[in-house]
Structure 1
Amino acid sequence: MERRLERTVYFIVPENTSIRVGETININSDGIIARKAGKSYLDNLIIEGHVDNNTPGTYDIVYKINIDGKEHKRTRTITVIDENS
């Protein structure tokens, strides 16, 4: 069991979410877990994409990390909603 845990990669990003026009959202490393065998890999985190919180729409944020030569990628979708439309 211990040997299997040494190989297990935990790469977790925040859930998809919706915000209102003008509301801010952080897409940085807050709330992200990137670990293997008790070691954090957040220093290697790459975040791609942006959210225009003034324009309604759907935005994909891609979080990538390289652990032991293998790229792991997760996508988070942020939806900006205009409640006046």
Structure 2
Amino acid sequence: MDELLRPRVYGADIDDPDPGPKPDRVYRELVGGPLDGLLLDVTGWSEREHSAGVELRTDIGRFGPGGRARYAPREGGTDHWEWRGDSR
């Protein structure tokens, strides 16, 4: 796959020469909001943790540095997590 089109994993360093997914990990794609298109590593998460969703730090959301973007699984249990808004 073209390296420019390869998805990047949330939390990977911007200078990481290989910021993409690893074959032995489980990911969910973030859809919408400031982290749209990034992959979230959920390897080892319990069903409870997975169903609760997550708040992820981001400097590019509504609240700028220190803000968070909320994502939760789509209805139907897909591999996509939808943006549910930003918070401080």
Calculate the TM-score normalised by the size of structure 1: 0.28
- Relative contact order higher in (CA < 8 Å, ≥ 6 apart): 1
Flag the structure with larger Rg. Answer: 1
Higher strand share: 1
